């Protein structure tokens, strides 16, 4: 499948096309996404939880994103890849943000980068766009600063909060971003923002009033029993893997694996008659 382009993503704002993004962090999974109809991959800093065993996204580094991102790019050469800028890689200065984005763009070979924050990140978004790198914004529930929000909580629950979210979305648009991720807000809030900006919204836990949808791979594949309310499980890999591991252990313990079918049975001169 041909890689979707930034203009084609932006055209979803008006042409009614709905597109899909999934997070991905490794080569083998990327080869499967590449074979699928999904248009976009995010090398998400959610790798902190899904791959690295952290209890949040803070702690993930640019080197982590690049290390995993390179494997994903090798597995998915024609999928549009967005590299997620981790906490600490763009909050010191515009120059620091551009330098981090340059590294991710060049070393992963990704097609765009994403970073969190509305008005507070507008200058760095503009700097990165002016440097020639497409940027996706991210507002609403922003995991990197979730401690300031009192945890992973639904955002935009009062009209004043909704107006601040809209100001953030407009600041991201004015800074030159091609798309904005909206996370963890009620459906009506997404629609309100969508009706008042000119770039597409990619929603995660933001309902269906979006041009694009995102899900974390480990949530939608059902690795863990608990997933957030918005994450539909399209598979139950966790229980299936556990069954497979225990079945393997049982067969080894019982001596029923490996059978001749799973062994090399060539006759060896001097050993076999
Ligand atoms: O890192 C991540 O997985 C994200 C999600 C909100 C898509 O940013």
Would you say residue 217 has pLDDT above 90? yes
Q: Which residues contact 88 (CB under 8 A, 6 or more apart)?
A: 58, 61
Would you say residue 150 has pLDDT above 90? no
Q: Which long-range contacts (CB under 8 A, 24 or more apart) does 56-63 make?
A: 56/143, 56/146, 57/86, 57/87, 57/143, 57/144, 58/87, 58/88, 58/144, 59/87, 60/86, 60/87, 61/86, 61/88, 61/89, 62/86, 62/89, 62/100, 62/103, 62/104
Report whether residue 76 contacts ligand 1, using a CB cutoff of 6 Å: no
CA-wise closest residue to 60 among 151, 147, 51: 51
Average pLDDT for residues 240-252, to the nearest whole number?
Answer: 98
Q: Which residues contact 13 (CB under 8 A, 6 or more apart)?
A: 198, 199, 200, 211
Would you say residue 146 has pLDDT above 80? yes
Mean pLDDT, rounded, of the chain: 97
Model confidence pLDDT, tens digit, residues 7-62: 999 999 999 999 999 999 999 999 999 999 999 999 999 999 999 999 999 999 99
Report whether residue 211 contacts ligand 1, using a CB cutoff of 6 Å: no
Predicted local distance difference test score (pLDDT) of residue 151: 86
Q: Would the CA dihedral through 211, 216, 220, 221 be positive or negative?
A: positive
Model confidence pLDDT, tens digit, residues 115-137: 999 999 999 999 999 999 999 99
Delineate the domains of the chain, giving CATH numbers in brackets: 6-236 (3.20.20.60)
Verify whether residue 183 is a known catalytic residue: yes
Would you say residue 194 has pLDDT above 80? yes
Predicted local distance difference test score (pLDDT) of residue 41: 98
Ligand 1: atom nearest CA of 138 is: 8
Would you say residue 182 has pLDDT above 80? yes
The DSSP symbol for 3 reads P
Report whether residue 219 contacts ligand 1, using a CB cutoff of 6 Å: no
Predicted local distance difference test score (pLDDT) of residue 174: 98
Token readout for 117 is: 């924050």
pTM: 0.96
Predicted local distance difference test score (pLDDT) of residue 273: 76
* Prior bond of 258 cis (ω within 30°): yes
Q: Which of 86, 204, 228, 230 is the best mutation target for the ligand 1 pocket, counting ligand atoms within 8 Å of the beta carbon and taking the most?
A: 204
């Amino acid at each position: 499948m041909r890689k979707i382009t930034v203009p084609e993503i932006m055209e979803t704002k008006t042409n009614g096309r709905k597109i899909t993004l999934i997070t991905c962090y490794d080569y083998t999974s990327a080869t499967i996404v590449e074979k699928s109809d999904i248009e976009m991959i995010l090398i998400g800093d959610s790798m902190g939880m899904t791959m690295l065993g952290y209890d949040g996204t803070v702690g993930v580094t640019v080197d982590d994103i690049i290390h995993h991102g390179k494997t994903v790019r090798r597995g998915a050469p024609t999928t549009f890849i967005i590299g997620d800028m981790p906490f600490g890689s763009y909050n010191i200065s515009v120059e620091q943000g551009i330098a981090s984005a340059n590294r991710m763009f060049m070393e992963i070979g990704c097609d765009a980068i994403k970073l969190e924050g509305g008005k507070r990140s507008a200058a760095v978004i503009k700097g990165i766009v002016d440097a020639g790198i497409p940027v996706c914004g991210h507002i609403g529930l922003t995991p990197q600063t979730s401690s300031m929000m009192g945890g992973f909580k639904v955002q935009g629950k009062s009209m004043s909060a909704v107006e601040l979210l809209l100001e953030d979305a407009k600041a991201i648009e004015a800074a030159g971003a091609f798309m904005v991720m909206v996370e963890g807000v009620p459906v009506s809030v997404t629609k309100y923002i969508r009706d008042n900006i000119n770039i597409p919204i990619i929603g995660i836990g933001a309902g269906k009033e979006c041009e694009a949808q995102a899900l974390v791979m480990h949530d939608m594949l059902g690795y863990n029993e608990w997933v957030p309310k918005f994450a539909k499980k399209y598979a139950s890999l966790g229980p299936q893997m556990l069954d497979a591991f225990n079945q393997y252990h049982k067969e080894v313990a019982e001596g029923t694996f490996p059978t001749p079918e799973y062994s090399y049975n060539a006759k060896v001169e001097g050993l076999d008659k």
